[in-house]
Amino acid sequence: MTPARALSVLVLVAAMGAVLVPATVLAQAGTAPATRSSADAGIVDEDTDTPYVPTPADVVERMLHLAGVGKGDYLIDIGSGDGRIVLTAVAKFGARGHGIEIDPRLIERSRQSAKKMGISDRAQFLTQDLFESDFSKATVVSLYLLPKVMQLLTPKLAALRPGTRIVSHDYAMLADWQPDISLRMFVPDKPVGRDRHSTLMLWTVPAQVAGRWAFELPAAQGGGRVELAVSQSYQMLTGKATLNGQPVELAGLRIDGERFRFALEPSGRAERFRHEFDGLVKGDTVAGTATFNARASAATAKWEARLAR
């Protein structure tokens, strides 16, 4: 058995919830099991006699709202358990999607639920190993995975199409990929833990913009060649800018999915101008609009830059 397969078998976790393993295995995977009373010991699957932990309905809906799920989205739920994240995303939010689950009995239950709800054409469930699955179709990915598995999946999730939203219940990515949004909610019927709270986290996969970008200012703005040197760690950017080889102030440098924004503040004879740039990244180009002299009589024009990595 490969390490990936072993982890998938040991950590059957769902965004709707599923730790389908004994406490000793959880401890080996790097997360100690929560102390639970008999009242919150999980739900026993009538088919398998195995306890798994479903995500409460209010957490499911809050996750989907946080990720902004809508009619144009395709959601993939990694470790889909009884299917409730996918079923809710399709039935209530108008999305399409599929769940990935390694237990065929839970897959069959999910399929039967989709059939009863009349949404089988938009909600599918696949028996797969999460480490071997293809997530590239997703615009939204939902997870409820133990920390060790989240860390192992981080590179694969970070390589998804820019703009893909990733929403997780309770557990984070690698430490250097901080969530864009993190919120804590009271969950009175949460079946595990003592404080009855859940933490929800959202990431948006950023476009890769590290490198040296170059473009020309319009003649109306004095012309000149602008170069940006950008360093990147996930969505965190740092950089420097020059105009005709001379340093110029760079502000507001950020990447949100495919959206790349920054401002330049070159000095004129009597004042400092502010030029604001906003564009969408497509491979090695970014194109959008620029607002020149934004602090005074602003002029707007199309803008495009190219990247030489």
Note the Cα 128 to chain centre separation in Å.
Answer: 21
pLDDT category of residue 148 using cuts at 50, 70 and 90: very high
270 and 228 both lie in a single domain: yes
Report if pTM > 0.75: yes
25 and 160 both lie in a single domain: yes
Q: pLDDT for 13-24, tens place per residue?
A: 333 343 333 332
Asked if residues 145 and 168 have their Cβ atoms less than 8 Å apart, the reply is yes
pLDDT category of residue 294 using cuts at 50, 70 and 90: low
| Average pLDDT estimate for 135-148 | 94
23 and 134 both lie in a single domain: yes
127 and 252 both lie in a single domain: no
Alpha-carbon Rg for the chain in angstroms = 24
d(Cα 270, Cα 114) in Å, to the nearest integer?
A: 67
256 and 138 both lie in a single domain: no
d(Cα 142, Cα 34) in Å, to the nearest integer?
A: 22
**Final residue belonging to a domain, choices 150, 180, 204:** 204
Q: pLDDT for 47-76, tens place per residue?
A: 443 346 678 899 999 999 999 999 999 999
104 and 253 both lie in a single domain: no
Beta pairing class for 96-101 and 74-78: parallel
Average pLDDT, whole number, for the chain? 84
Q: Which residue has the higher pLDDT, 218 or 15?
A: 218
105 and 51 both lie in a single domain: yes
Range of the domain at 304: 211-308
Q: Domain with 195 in it: what CATH number?
A: 3.40.50.150
d(Cα 152, Cα 171) in Å, to the nearest integer?
A: 13
| pLDDT computed for residue 28 by the predictor | 28
| pLDDT computed for residue 54 by the predictor | 79
| pLDDT computed for residue 176 by the predictor | 94
Beta pairing class for 181-186 and 165-169: unpaired
Q: Which residue has the higher pLDDT, 264 or 8?
A: 264
| pLDDT computed for residue 136 by the predictor | 96
| Exposure b/e, 47-59, CB count within 10 A at least 16 = b | eeebbbbbbbeeb
**How many domains does the chain contain in total?**
2
**Final residue belonging to a domain, choices 175, 204, 233:** 204
22 and 138 both lie in a single domain: yes
Torsions phi, psi of 105, nearest 5? -70, -40
Asked if pLDDT for residue 248 goes beyond 90, the answer is yes
Query: Dihedral of the CA atoms 52, 66, 83, 73 (nearest 10)?
Result: -160
